[in-house]
Amino acid sequence: MQPSLPRPPKGIVRLKYSTTVEGWNARYMREGVRFSQLFTDSQYGGPEASLEAAIAWRKQAETLLPPMSRREYAAVRRANNSSGESGVHRTIGEYYKGKPRYYWRAMWSPAKGKRRYKTFSVQKFGEEEAKRLAIEARRLALESLDAEWPEGSWPTSRDEGDHSDGVLDQDVFAYEGNDKFAIHKSKERDRTLRQAKLRAFFAAHGDLFCEICRFSFEEQYGALGRGLIEVHHLLPVAEMTQTHKTTLEELMCVCSNCHFALHNGDPQSNLEALRFIFDARRHTKTKNEPSDAADSR
C-alpha cells in the first residue's frame, strides 16, 4: 500500500512522467503569461521535500510578480482611449434630426463580470465640462472599490475587464521637427570600460548575448547585429559618486528590450523579476509537460 501524499496548495499539482519519475508541478499565471516548473521526488529526496520546494518557488513568484490591485488594474490605460484617462472616453450616442449626439462616458467594474457607466452630454455641458464630469465620476467610483480583488477573481490578462469602447480617432497628428536647444547635466560614463566589458564577455562566451533573455543580435540579424549589445550598470549611475570605481563585475550585457524593462521602475527589483521570468520560461521549454490526463492528485 502506497503512503498517502501530502495535499498540495492551490497552483501545484502532482505529475507522473513515468513509473520512475514523479513530482510536483508548480504553476503561476500573471497577466496572461503562464510560468511552471517541475520538482521531482528524485531530485529532492521524496514527495514531501519536492512539494516544499514547489511551494517555495510559487511564493517567490508571488513576491516577484505580484498581482495588480483592483485600483491598479482599473488605472491601466487602454490603447483606444480617447481622453488620456483610463476608463473615460468620448462616444457617439443616438442621432437627433440627422445629427449625432456626443457624450463623454465614465466606465468602471464594481465586480467581476459587471460594468457601470455614466455619460455626460457634450450638447448639455460643453466639451470640456462633460469630459471633466466623466473623469470625476470615474474617480469617485474607483475610490469606492476595494483595494484588493476578492479571492479567486484576479484577472489573468490586461485584456479582460475595464475595456474602453470609444471610437479611435484616426486624425491624431502633431507637428514635429523643430530645432530645440537644451543644456543637460548628466553623469559621465567611460566608454572604454564598456568596450572592455564586451571584450571580456566575448572571450568568455564566444558571442555577445543578453545575460537575462539570451537574445543575440548577431544570431537574429546576421552581420547587421554583429557587436551589438547594451551594457547595464548594476549600481545605478545616478547613485555613483565622483570617486566610485566601476568594475567589470558591476556591468551586465543586456539586450535593448531587457534594458528598457530594467529601467521601468526600480532596476534592482526588476532584475530579480526578469531573471525569474526567463529562468521559468527556459525551464518550461526544456520540459515537455504531460497532458492533464497524466495528473494524479
* Percent of the chain residues topping a pLDDT of 90: 28
Looking at the domain assignment, is residue 63 inside a domain?
yes
Q: What is the predicted pLDDT for the residue at 161?
A: 40
Looking at the domain assignment, is residue 170 inside a domain?
no
Would the pLDDT of 269 be above 60? yes
SS3 25: strand
Looking at the domain assignment, is residue 120 inside a domain?
yes
Q: What is the predicted pLDDT for the residue at 209?
A: 95
Q: Tell me: do 75 and 25 sit in the same domain.
A: no
Q: Tell me: do 240 and 253 sit in the same domain.
A: yes
Q: What is the predicted pLDDT for the residue at 232?
A: 93
Q: Please report which helix (H) or strand (E) contains residue 287, including its range.
A: none
Q: Tell me: do 47 and 94 sit in the same domain.
A: no
Arithmetic mean of pLDDT, 124-149: 82
Q: What is the predicted pLDDT for the residue at 166?
A: 41
- Nearest-angstrom CA–CA distance, 148 and 72: 9
Instruction: Decide if 58 contacts 12 (C-beta within 8 A).
Output: yes
Would the pLDDT of 96 be above 50? yes
Looking at the domain assignment, is residue 215 inside a domain?
yes
Looking at the domain assignment, is residue 95 inside a domain?
yes
Arithmetic mean of pLDDT, 156-164: 42
Arithmetic mean of pLDDT, 162-180: 54
Looking at the domain assignment, is residue 41 inside a domain?
yes
Q: What is the predicted pLDDT for the residue at 98?
A: 62
Q: What is the pLDDT of residues 41-89, one digit of tens each?
A: 998 999 999 999 999 999 998 888 887 666 666 555 454 455 567 788 8
Which range, of 105-114, 173-182, 194-203, averages the lowest pLDDT? 173-182
- Nearest-angstrom CA–CA distance, 266 and 247: 21
Q: Tell me: do 53 and 117 sit in the same domain.
A: no
Would the pLDDT of 148 be above 70? no
Q: What is the predicted pLDDT for the residue at 83?
A: 55
Looking at the domain assignment, is residue 214 inside a domain?
yes
- Nearest-angstrom CA–CA distance, 232 and 230: 7
Arithmetic mean of pLDDT, 221-240: 89
Would the pLDDT of 93 be above 60? yes
Q: What is the predicted pLDDT for the residue at 133?
A: 92
Place of cell 452630454: 121
Cell numbers standing for residue 295: 495528473
Note the helical H segments in 2-121: 41-44, 47-64, 70-74
Q: Residue 199: CB partners within 8 Å, gap ≥ 6?
A: none
Q: Tell me: do 59 and 86 sit in the same domain.
A: no
pLDDT grade for 162, boundaries at 50, 70 and 90: very low
Looking at the domain assignment, is residue 75 inside a domain?
yes
Note the helical H segments in 65-167: 70-74, 122-125, 127-143
Cell numbers standing for residue 105: 462616458
Would the pLDDT of 211 be above 90? yes
In terms of Cβ atoms closer than 10 Å to its own Cβ (0-12, 13-18, 19+), residue 171 is exposed
Range of the domain at 56: 12-68
Q: What is the predicted pLDDT for the residue at 224?
A: 92
Q: Tell me: do 197 and 259 sit in the same domain.
A: yes
Instruction: Decide if 116 contacts 109 (C-beta within 8 A).
Output: yes
Rounded to two decimals, the pTM is 0.56
- Nearest-angstrom CA–CA distance, 107 and 85: 11
- Nearest-angstrom CA–CA distance, 9 and 180: 59
SS3 231: strand
Q: Tell me: do 136 and 78 sit in the same domain.
A: yes
Of residues 282 and 132, which shows the higher confidence score?
Answer: 132
| Counted domains in the chain | 3
Q: What is the pLDDT of residues 19-39, one digit of tens each?
A: 778 899 998 887 667 888 889
Would the pLDDT of 144 be above 80? no
Cell numbers standing for residue 35: 510560468
